[in-house]
Amino acid sequence: MSERDDDLTGAYALDALTPEERSAFERRLAASESLRTEVGELTDTAARLGLAVPAEAPPASLKAGLMAQIAQTPQLPAQEAPSPAATPAEAKAQARWFRRPAVALAAAAAAVALVIGGGVLANITARSGVQQEQADQLAALNAAADVQHISTGVEGGGNATLVYSVQLATSAVILDGVAELPADRTYELWYIDDAGARPAGLMDVDATASNWRVLDGEFSADDVVGVTVEPAGGSEQPTTDPIVVLGPEASALPALEQAEVVQVAESPAPVPTPTEIVPPPAAPKAPEPPAQPGSQIPAEAGGVVSAQAQVHEVTEEVPELTDPVESLLRPITDAVRDLLRP
Amino acid sequence: MTSVQAPVNPFGVGVRGMRAGAMLVPMPEEDVQPADTVAARLQLLLERVASGDQQAFSALYDAVAPRIFGLVKRLLVDHAQSEEVTQEVFLEIWQTAPRFDANRGAAMSWILTMAHRRAVDRVRAAQSSRDRDTRVGIRDYAHEYDTVSETIEIRIENERVQQAMERLTDLQRQAVSLAYYGGYSHSEVAQLLSIPIGTVKTRLRDGMIRLRDELGVTQ
């Protein structure tokens, strides 16, 4: 390490380097513990300069928009994942905070680009009852204890992300930078299992934004999700090859090895979060315990099912899940609602 | 010649493991909490955000948004752009929180570092140097850090930073202020102060090391 290299610690901590100088310096940082220590101290010193600046409250609309955005924005996995390019700010944070700084400098966040690069999230700006329902579903999905994300490139350009929860039997697809289609064509989503493809909804795409849709129908762990181009109005069965296929099973398919499964909600936090209060998911089709009063009533009534018992049966399909999740999500859904209000 | 004083150090910046320095001033409730408590709370919130807790994100936003917005606006001046950058900063906090490692520094420092970097990137991308020269004259920067603050916590920190700044040489102080509060690159600073770029690098490093010692920032 030459004297000249050391000279840049101050400029780096103050963000006074050009992007090229920055990258070069970060490579040196990765190789020198003592340099990292000095940069860490000087970065903290710079933060003290920041703390001395008078605070100013941003407008309330900023928070409302953010809460809606994070509800549908995947988080990075705690461990390093190979991805194309870090944001500059993240790269600087990685230089110090991330657990594997040497690798982290070149590492990245497709998910960051997904939203920040996309700018406006197209579906959020739409104002309709359907969009409201979709936004609520997506918020619930993102808050599920077992939510996972899979991202991969799309044939013809762009990226696709599948967000899914086996517990909620729900999934959503986010398409970012994917080509817009002519008016007589539409993207159609499919649940695909051994039995074939089930239509799961249509999706219009704004190429300048991130686009998302919660899929119709129920997601199960055996499903993969495919996206095809279909005639306007959609098809009963796919008429073209999928531009992308995503799912927990997709990694078993040779053509889809690049899809990377990212476990988001697995980290055991030291403090229980509201989501952890939710009991672990029972298998979706698991038989109910015999002691459940609701399920006992029909048998005892000799096939005559009371309306009350039916209600019990329906609610017990997702036992004790609805209320905690809903209460957890209320601030989010309210924020989304505020945002969607014309 | 370097007197390391006990820092007030709000948010525990520069202190590992949330052990802040000695408190000089008793803090009123609500408005200002002891640095230990604030730093610990921020770290806890960030850990919860890392596990996808949106309520924790909401609380974290409430705790730090005015500081982020204040800092970003100091650099960008423009209100709308400051909002955009603040939004970007918080999205990045949300997305990268799982990778925050408290053993490497305080949560507030992590957040302010991201905010400053994004503001600097935006100011350089968005405005020509001519605009920026018009925006803030260089003369303003010599005492840019000396600003009236609205909370006791910021006022104390401001005073401490100002005292530390006064220990710098004029050239160190100008260079550091232009870089941090103006978002100027070291070559721009060299131009503005009409000194060689190598001298600027040295001034920035020497100035920051002096500030570090004066403020008692340690790893």
pLDDT at residue B177 in the model: 93
Contact list, A78 vs chain B (CB under 8 Å): 50, 98-99
ipTM over 0.85: no
Q: Rounded to whole angstroms, how far apart are CA atoms A253 and A193?
A: 12
CA separation (Å) from B35 to A42, A69, B214? 20, 31, 18
Of chain A, the percentage scoring pLDDT greater than 70 comes to 52
Q: Where are the domains of chain A?
A: 3-49, 128-263
Q: Could you give the CA distance from residue A101 to residue B3 in angstroms, rounded to a whole number?
A: 33
CB atoms within 10 A of CB A120: 14
Q: Does B118 touch chain A (CB under 8 A)?
A: yes
Residue A13, CA distances (Å) to A89, A98, A169, A237, B174 in order: 12, 17, 47, 57, 16
Assigned token pair, A46: 């710079």
Cα(B188)–Cα(A307) distance, integer angstroms:
76
Cα–Cα dist A323/A231, whole Å: 40
Rounded to the nearest integer, the mean pLDDT of chain B is 79
Q: Would you tell me which residues 147-206 of chain B have a C-beta closer than 8 angstroms to some C-beta of chain A? A: 147-151, 154, 157-158, 160-162, 176, 179-181, 183-187, 189, 198, 200-206
Query: Residue range A246-263: average pLDDT?
Result: 49
- Name the residue ranges covered by the structural domains of chain B: 1-126, 129-219
Residue A64 to residue B61: CA distance in whole angstroms: 11
- Coil vs helix vs strand at A267: coil
CATH among 3.40.50.300, 3.40.50.720, 1.10.3080.10, 1.10.10.10 for B129-219: 1.10.10.10
Q: What's the CA gap between A123 and A113, in Å, rounded?
A: 17
Chain B interface includes A272 (CB < 8 A): no
Non-local (6+) Cβ contacts of A185 within 8 A are A229, A230, A231, A232
What is the bridge-based pairing of β-strands A170-176 and A159-165? antiparallel
Give the CATH architecture of domain B1-126.
Orthogonal Bundle (1.10)
List of chain B residues whose C-beta atoms are within 8 Å of the C-beta of residue A45: 14, 208, 211-212, 215, 217
| Weakest-pLDDT range from A41-45, B33-37, B108-112, B140-144 | B140-144
Q: What is the pLDDT of residues B77-129, one digit of tens each?
A: 889 999 999 999 999 999 999 988 888 788 999 999 999 999 998 888 865 44
Residues B5-42 as b/e (b if ≥16 CB within 10 A, e otherwise) read: eebbbbbbbbbeebebbeeeeebeeeebbebbebbbbb
